Amino acid sequence: MSDTPENGATPDYMAEIEDLTKLVESGHELIREGNQIDLTNLEEPIADLCRRLAETPPEDPQAVTIAIQHLVQRLGALSEAIQAQARTEQ
């Protein structure tokens, strides 16, 4: 994840959000396979993305908002899956 490009162009937030969403979807797959996962590696990239979004607004705020809402929904579902996994392992 990078800062604003030197040419002054708006960062490609959609690509970053898509990459983060793919990581979350990979987490879903790992949980379905019975693996345990750790989400702490997502904290820094998500915090960095949020910071940069505040500093350099996206060219298409509506599209970015929708993509972030989807990411948050999938993260919430993953959190629920992890909690369900933990309950069944007790």
Q: Which residue is associated with the tokens 């392992």?
A: 89
Tokens describing residue 9:
């162009």
With a pLDDT cut of 70, the percent of the chain lying above it is 90
Average pLDDT on 21-36 reads 96
Average pLDDT on 34-63 reads 95
Q: What is the pLDDT of residue 2?
A: 47
The angle that helices 13-32 and 40-55 make with each other, rounded to 10 degrees, is 160
Global confidence as pTM? 0.84
Q: Where would I find the H helices in the chain?
A: 13-32, 40-55, 61-88
